[in-house]
A = this chain, B = another copy of it.
Amino acid sequence: MAGTADQLPTRRPGGRTARVRAQILAATVELVARNGIAGFRYEEVAELAGVHKTSVYRNWADREELVVEALLQYVDDLGSVADTGDLRRDLVDFLMVLSEGLGRPTVRALEQATQATHESPAVRRAATRIFEERAAAMRRRIELAMARGELPPVDYSLFGEMISGPVHLIVNRGLRPFTRADAERIVDLVLAGVRATTPHT
């Protein structure tokens, strides 16, 4: 039984040490998601993980390494862009995975770590790298769509920001649920806008 992306690797070889490490990483993610990195202390991590404080220090002498390793576990929760051959469906599916991810503390912590005002350059670099990998998957999907004539030439970065920006805003505010109908309206509007504003050659 291999672990899925949503499970912590509590049973990997290594026994008790590995289990303690996994508990510490899970506690770190929870605290960072709750209070940000500025508000997180080793004492709290140890308490929440149910381990001695020395276990935290012994495994991660450096705060930033602890945070980075904790966040990197959740890369897969960010979702990627599939290729079923149907661009609209693939983008709508991606927005749904993104909206569910943004509702989870793990992904929220990753998201917060990418903020320009983030106090730790090392943590921000690690989090940004994760989002860049996701952006690269979007870029490959858009390139395929352009090669197939589904889409005129577009600016990948802005295209990605146009479809995912509203999702971030809606989910983060939390004033209304994000639905599949929202995802479809966003994708349809952006696709129609791209087609209407790009001169066909």
Residues of B within 8 A of A131 (CB): 173
CA distance A170 to B35 in the complex (A): 23
Is A164's beta carbon under 8 Å from chain B? Answer: yes
Specify how many copies of this chain sit in the oligomer.
Answer: 2
A1 contacts chain B at the CB level, 8 A cutoff:
no
Are A186 and B162 within 8 A (Cβ)?
yes
Q: Quick check: which of A11-19, A72-80, A109-117 contacts chain B, the rest being far away?
A: A109-117
Q: Is there contact, CB below 8 Å, between A164 and B169?
A: yes
**Chain B contacts for A50, CB-based, 8 A:** none
Report B-chain residues with C-beta under 8 Å of the C-beta of A38: 34-36, 39
CA distance A148 to B185 in the complex (A): 24
Q: Which A residues from 163 to 201 make CB contacts under 8 A with B?
A: 164-176, 182, 185-186, 188-197
Report the separation of the CA atoms of residues A30 and B106 in the bound assembly, to the nearest whole angstrom: 27
A148 and B165 CA atoms in complex are apart in Å by 29
Q: List 30 A-B contacts (CB under 8 A).
A: A33-B117, A34-B117, A35-B36, A36-B39, A38-B39, A105-B117, A108-B117, A115-B174, A116-B171, A116-B174, A128-B173, A131-B173, A155-B185, A157-B176, A158-B185, A161-B169, A162-B166, A162-B186, A165-B165, A165-B166, A165-B168, A165-B169, A165-B170, A166-B166, A168-B169, A169-B169, A188-B197, A190-B193, A192-B193, A192-B197
* Known contacts A192-B197, A193-B193, then 6 further A-B pairs from the complex at CB < 8 Å, ordered by chain A residue: A34-B38, A38-B39, A188-B197, A189-B193, A190-B193, A191-B193
